[in-house]
Amino acid sequence: MLISWPGGWYRLIAVVFSIATWYVSGQTIFDFARHVTHKAEGFLDELKLGLKTLRYGLNTVEGVLKESKDAECAFKCPNGSLAKPKSGYKPIPNGCGSYGLKFDESGLPHKDMNSCCNRHDICYGTCLATKDDCDSKFLGCLDSVCDKKTGKNHKDKLMSCKAAARALYAGSQYLGCKAFKDAQRQACFCNRKDEL
C-alpha cells in the first residue's frame, strides 16, 4: 500500500529535507521557532516605534496646518488673562527649521543666514513679541545677508540668494504660527484675572 501525502511526494521530500537540515545543523525546530519569534518581536517593536513617530509627525503637521489658517496669529492667555515675560527665561534658538525639519547651514546660500534664523527664533521666544514684526525682521536680515555676501555685481547669485530668502520667509509667514504660539507659551507667564 502506498502512503498518500497531500500535495504529492515532492512536498514530503521537502519536509524530510528541512527536518534533516535542522537535525544536521544541531538546531531543533524549537530553537528555530524561538529564533523566529525573537526576530518577530524585534520587528514588531521597531514597527511600533515607527508608527509612534509617524503619528507624532502627522499630529505636528495637523497642528501646523490648523494654526496656519488663522488670519491673525497672536498669542493669547487662557481666560483673557494678561501675559507677562517669565522671569529669567531665555529662548533657545535652533537654526533654520522647526519641529524636526532642520536646514543644514551647508544647504543655505550663505551660512550667515543661520544667524538670521537664530534671531528669528529668539524673537518668537520673546514674550509679547508679534509674529508679523519677527517675520519682517527675519526677511530684512536674510536680504541683508544676501546683499553683503553676494554683492550687486553677481546678479545671478544675488537672485538665487534672494529666492532662498523669500522661501524661508514664506515658510515662517505661512507655516510659522504654531511655532510662534508655542514659543510665546514658553516665554510668557499668564496671570489669572483674579490676581490683577
Catalytic center residues: 120, 135
- Please give, one letter per residue, the 3-state secondary structure of the chain: CCCCCCCCHHHHHHHHHHHHHHHHHCCCHHHHHHHHHHHHHHHHHHHHHHHHHHHHHHHHHHHHHHHHCCCCCCCCCHHHCCEEECCCCCCCCCCCEECCEECCHHHCCCCCHHHHHHHHHHHHCCCCCCHHHHHHHHHHHHHHHHHHHHCCCCHHHHHHHHHHHHHHHHHHHHHCHHHHHHHHHHHEEECCHHHC
